[in-house]
């Protein structure tokens, strides 16, 4: 057995070495994301993104909704790697062109933000981190909480269109399936309830909800809310090119708040998943709690957003830093 003095010296030496040697996380290596990843390589990155989000929001209010929905569609499909942004090529379909991406928009403004960051720090900040940070700042624009987020993501090189249906939770699925898909990302039941609170803002296209109105009105809908829905969605088969929609929350449509939970408890949710959330025994207690407390909603929403945005990122030497967000570098460099 080694003398106690030698053991103490060994432990002390190891501790001193740990203090003097930067951790892999601090150096942005393969072990994951860190706070302020760009503090040495592009210290202005987060401020530039925040300013661009503010400017775009002043000109186009719907950009904040887009940032939030786009990042959900990106991170929920295997990885937060900005694969959503890639255009179709001769060999692969873009995720943007799948049926599940109907209504996604404002991708060109992500390029606007990317160009602003590139002017300051060429080839340093990933499109994946720009997606995440623009969503965070968009949440603030909508009156939601500021959420501290780690960075250091890198960009994927391929579309994940072939697995969108497998991984992306759908508003017409059973609540069990929705809970399972989010659970696979490490998000628990109160976290799922909080994330769906994003339905507090934005709008739902008629094509997504007419099955609740035609040929018969869903008896679960609040009858006082039905006339408004019918007025906004007068056709059983809406023209997909027409801009026909219903605001998710008629009371505070531009504010991320807990009014959503009061609405769905009053059977005014537009989507099947909204109705299930308010009535399933696993989720209803949290719906009621969030309806009573916006602080609780924001707390759980912030926690769940951080988990969603850290879903299986590419870090270290994996992936790449795209020059242009809609094209992988190998295609970008082709003549």
- Residues with active-site annotation: 73
d(CA 147, CA 139) in angstroms, rounded, equals 9
DSSP type of residue 247: E
**Which has the closest alpha carbon to 328: 127, 30, 61, 71?**
127
Task: Say whether 15 counts as a known binding-site residue.
Answer: no
Task: Say whether 199 counts as a known binding-site residue.
Answer: yes
| Other Cβ atoms within 10 Å of 313 Cβ, number | 25
Task: Say whether 95 counts as a known binding-site residue.
Answer: yes
CA angle 103/142/188 to nearest 5° reads 75
Number of residues that make up the chain: 335
Contact present, 283 and 192 (Cβ < 8 Å)? yes
Contacts of 106 (CB under 8 A, 6+ apart): 60, 62, 63, 66, 67, 70
Alpha carbons within 13 A on the beta-carbon side of 80: 28
Task: Say whether 81 counts as a known binding-site residue.
Answer: yes
d(CA 238, CA 105) in angstroms, rounded, equals 19
Contact present, 70 and 104 (Cβ < 8 Å)? yes
Task: Say whether 257 counts as a known binding-site residue.
Answer: yes
Rounded (10°) CA dihedral 288, 294, 300, 301: 110
**Which has the closest alpha carbon to 71: 319, 318, 307, 315?**
307
Tell me the torsion sign for CA atoms 24, 302, 110, 52: negative
Task: Say whether 74 counts as a known binding-site residue.
Answer: yes
CA-only gyration radius of the chain, Å: 22
Three-state SS at 155: strand
Structure tokens of 203? 């709008």
Task: Say whether 331 counts as a known binding-site residue.
Answer: no
Dmax (CA) of the chain:
85
Task: Say whether 211 counts as a known binding-site residue.
Answer: no
Q: Return binding residues for substrate.
A: 169
Q: Which residues are documented as binding site for Ca(2+)? A: 74, 77, 81, 83, 95, 249, 252, 257
Binding residues: 74, 77, 81, 83, 95, 169, 199, 249, 252, 257
Annotated binding site for heme b: 199
């Amino acid at each position: 057995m080694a003398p106690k003095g030698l053991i103490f010296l060994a432990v002390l030496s190891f501790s001193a070495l740990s203090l003097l040697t930067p951790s892999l996380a601090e150096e942005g290596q393969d072990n994951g994301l860190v706070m302020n990843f760009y503090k040495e390589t592009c210290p202005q990155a987060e401020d530039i993104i925040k300013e661009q989000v503010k400017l775009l929001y002043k000109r186009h209010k719907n950009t904040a909704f887009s940032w939030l929905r786009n990042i959900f569609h990106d991170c929920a499909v295997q990885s937060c790697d900005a694969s959503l942004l890639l255009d179709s090529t001769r060999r692969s379909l873009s995720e943007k062109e799948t049926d599940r991406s109907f209504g996604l928009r404002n991708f060109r403004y992500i390029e606007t933000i990317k160009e602003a960051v590139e002017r300051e720090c060429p080839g340093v900040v990933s499109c994946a981190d720009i997606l995440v940070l623009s969503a965070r700042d968009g949440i603030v624009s909508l009156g939601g909480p500021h959420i501290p987020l780690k960075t250091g993501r890198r960009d994927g090189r391929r579309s994940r269109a072939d697995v969108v249906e497998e991984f992306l939770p759908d508003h017409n699925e059973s609540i069990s399936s929705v809970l399972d898909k989010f659970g696979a990302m490490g998000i628990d039941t109160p976290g799922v309830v909080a994330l769906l609170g994003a339905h507090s803002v934005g709008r739902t296209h008629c094509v997504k909800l007419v099955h609740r109105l035609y040929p018969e009105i869903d008896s679960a809908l609040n009858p006082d809310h039905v006339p408004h829905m019918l007025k906004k969605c007068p056709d059983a088969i809406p023209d997909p090119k027409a801009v026909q929609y219903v605001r998710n929350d008629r009371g505070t449509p531009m504010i991320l708040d807990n009014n959503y939970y009061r609405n769905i408890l009053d059977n005014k949710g537009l989507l099947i998943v909204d109705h299930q959330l308010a009535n399933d025994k696993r989720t209803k207690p949290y719906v009621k709690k969030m309806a009573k407390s916006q602080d609780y909603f924001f707390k759980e929403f912030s926690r769940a957003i951080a988990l969603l945005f850290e879903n299986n990122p590419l870090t270290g030497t994996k992936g790449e830093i795209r020059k242009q967000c809609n094209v992988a570098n190998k295609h970008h460099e082709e003549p």
